[in-house]
Amino acid sequence: MRMRPTLSWTPAEDLPPGTTDLQPVADALGAGGVLVLSGAGISTESGIPDYRGEGGSLSRHTPMTYQDFTAGAPARRRYWARSHLGWRTFGRARPNAGHRAVAAFGRRGLLAGVITQNVDGLHQVAGSEDVVELHGSLDRVVCLSCGAFSPRRELARRLEEANPGFDPVAAGINPDGDADLTDEQVGDFRVVPCMICGGILKPDVVFFGENVPPRRVEHCRALVREATSLLVLGSSLTVMSGLRFVRQAAEAGKPVLIVNRDPTRGDRHALARVSVPLGAALTGVADRLGIPVGDDGPGRPAAAPPTS
């Protein structure tokens, strides 16, 4: 039986303090073989809020769980109405300096890979390659009955046709692409079925309360084994899906460095937590290494079925 998801974490008083010294991060990247693990905090400078930081979405919003989504049509109506509106904001979001710096480090051959907990695709838009999307991507949709994948843009078109004039004003947007709407604003929003079998469509993302596919987890564990060090960017590491890789690296004696403004659940496993805004921190590191950080990448890539 799956438990309800872990949505919060209270920092222990004995956690090591943060630092503003970027040199440990620069040293690790200069040595190469760095595996990046990114969270919602890297996308806040692109206008997408995080879950748990100051003003994070969990202060006003409880994310959809897999159990709620599959329990009945009313929950799915609420989700798709809110997600359909939120998708427009995600589609306009552009990579920020943090995403571009990670892509620049990759082009220099300094990275062993990128694992992201985010579902916004901004690492790829910035130019990073072979990104492992730990929690999936909002760019894709999957049918829970036949397993067929389809592009989110196709579903967006169908939802527009099924709900002409649907354009409420949302109170906010959340890291999972869910816009804040009241039940009155959701109204009688129409959900469309799978075009192949008529089954239930779900975004190809790992909801709270759902398990990351085992093959994806093992792929990430292999990346940790092959890496020289682990660099965590903008994640509180509250949920085990990301924390397990920090623990794995630390147990293997690999240096763990964290760049996050607030304390994280992985701080006790890290050599240091750099408490500096991500964009400034990563561009500062890039400057020290003589690596230029360019503009946005060529554009949002086309969706493709993932490997689990």
Catalytic residues: 135
User: What span, in angstroms and rounded, lies between the C-alpha atoms of 137 and 118?
Assistant: 8
Helix, strand, coil percentages (3-state) for the chain, rounded to 5, are 35, 15, 45
- Annotation-wise, does 56 bind a ligand? yes
CA 49 vs CA 81, 174, 185, 231, 290: distances in Å: 19, 6, 22, 21, 30
User: Is 275 annotated in some ligand binding site?
Assistant: no
Is 41 among the annotated ligand-binding positions?
A: yes
CB 29 within 8 A of CB 285: yes
Tokens of 282: 């990563």
Is there a contact between 7 and 58 (Cβ–Cβ < 8 Å)? Answer: yes
Task: Find out whether 235 is annotated in a ligand binding site.
Answer: yes
Q: Count each helix (H run) and each strand (E run) in the chain, helices first.
A: 10, 9
H-assigned helices in 93-208? 97-107, 122-126, 152-162, 183-186
236 is in an annotated binding site: yes
Q: Residue 220, annotated ligand binder?
A: no
Sheet hosting strand 34-38, strand order edge to edge: 131-133, 111-116, 34-38, 229-233, 256-259, 272-274
Contact 65, 299 (CB under 8 A): no
Ligand-binding annotation for 115, yes or no, is: no
Give ∠ CA 178-302-135 in degrees, rounded to 5. Answer: 45
Identity of the residue numbered 38: S
- Whether residue 119 is annotated as binding a ligand: the answer is yes
> Binding site annotation covers 197?
yes
Find out whether 163 is annotated in a ligand binding site.
Answer: no
Binding site annotation covers 40?
yes
CB 110, CB 218: distance < 8 Å: no
The reply to whether 278 sits in an annotated binding site is: yes
Contacts of 287 (CB under 8 A, 6+ apart): none
The response to whether 95 counts as a known ligand-binding position is no
Has 44 been labeled as part of a binding site?
yes
Residue 24, annotated as binding a ligand: no
36 vs 18: CA distance, rounded Å: 19
| H or E stretch at 87 | helix 73-92
143 annotated as ligand-binding:
yes
Is 60 annotated in some ligand binding site? no
Q: Which residues are annotated as a binding site for NAD(+)?
A: 39-59, 117-120, 234-236, 278
Q: Which residues are annotated as a binding site for Zn(2+)?
A: 143, 146, 194, 197
Q: Which residues are annotated as a binding site?
A: 39-59, 117-120, 143, 146, 194, 197, 234-236, 278
